[in-house]
């Protein structure tokens, strides 16, 4: 019965999963880019810039993702005076949310680098910006890669909330199937299994990467 159901409606799950992965992938990519900027702003010696970054992080981390999604989805088009595709708005919402968490991960990674690294780079004639770009941030990213991977996994699960505004991700397709098949439970079980397979696979891949990074460090 389950296999027959999957065979008949597999296209719903395939397309929904593809949208979920697409949304999560670009959400974490843009989240990392914005997160780096916010982390550097928070580490800035300029009090105003540091305060702005800290305020952004606290506001985003202190409010629900659903609320942020509504603000972006309904507020951003009015703010810029033009309509945007639902997928673009969904990516923007999850990116801005992810950026706050990624910023703290990156900031912690930068602070974990020995201060002697910066001093050595400056003594070689590098500017502060050059030292951050070529010495500090690459080392920080190596240390925080597992944490960034975990953020990607979390984002895959949290992205299900975009189904509320009509983005056809896995959860949206699952709810659609529940309506047209009058089976309220089975589509949810299959969706849960798909989410589990995705996150479990990513967790294992992250474990492999982490072990290789540790092995590389120990061989130096």
> What's the confidence (pLDDT) of residue 117?
85
- Residues (pLDDT < 50) of the chain are none
Overall domain count for the chain = 1
What is each CA distance from 180 to 166, 170, 174, 185, 187, in whole angstroms? 16, 15, 10, 13, 11
Using alpha carbons, list the distances in angstroms from residue 181 to 16, 17, 78, 167, 177. 17, 19, 37, 20, 6
Cα separation, 147 vs 206, whole angstroms: 9
Query: What pLDDT is attached to residue 34?
Result: 96
Q: What's residue 59's pLDDT?
A: 96
Q: Shortest CA distance to 173 belongs to which of 6, 29, 25, 27?
A: 6
pLDDT of res. 121: 85
Radius of gyration of the chain measured on its C-alpha atoms = 21
Range of the domain at 115: 2-219
In sign, the C-alpha dihedral spanning 166, 171, 176, 178 is: negative
pTM of the model: 0.87
CATH code, 61: 1.10.3720.10
Q: What is the pLDDT of residue 137?
A: 84
């Amino acid at each position: 019965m389950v296999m027959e159901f999957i065979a008949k409606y597999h296209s719903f799950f395939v397309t929904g999963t593809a949208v979920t992965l697409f949304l999560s992938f670009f959400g974490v990519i843009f989240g990392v880019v914005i997160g780096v900027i916010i982390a550097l702003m928070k580490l800035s010696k300029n009090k105003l810039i540091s305060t702005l970054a800290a305020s952004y992080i606290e506001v985003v981390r202190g409010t629900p993702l659903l609320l942020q999604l509504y603000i972006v989805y309904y507020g951003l088009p009015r703010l810029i005076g033009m309509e945007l595709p639902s997928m673009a708005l969904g990516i923007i919402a999850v990116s801005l949310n992810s950026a706050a968490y990624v910023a703290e991960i990156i900031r912690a990674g930068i602070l974990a680098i020995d201060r002697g690294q910066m001093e050595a780079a400056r003594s070689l004639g590098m500017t502060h910006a050059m030292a951050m770009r070529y010495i500090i941030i690459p080392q920080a990213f190596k240390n925080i890669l597992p944490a960034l991977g975990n953020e990607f996994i979390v984002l895959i699960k949290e992205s299900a909330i975009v189904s509320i505004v009509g983005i056809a991700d896995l959860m949206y397709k699952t709810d659609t199937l529940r309506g047209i098949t009058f089976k309220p439970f089975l589509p949810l079980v299959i969706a849960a299994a798909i989410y589990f397979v995705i996150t479990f696979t990513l967790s294992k891949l992250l474990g492999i990467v982490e072990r290789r990074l540790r092995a590389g460090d120990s061989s130096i």
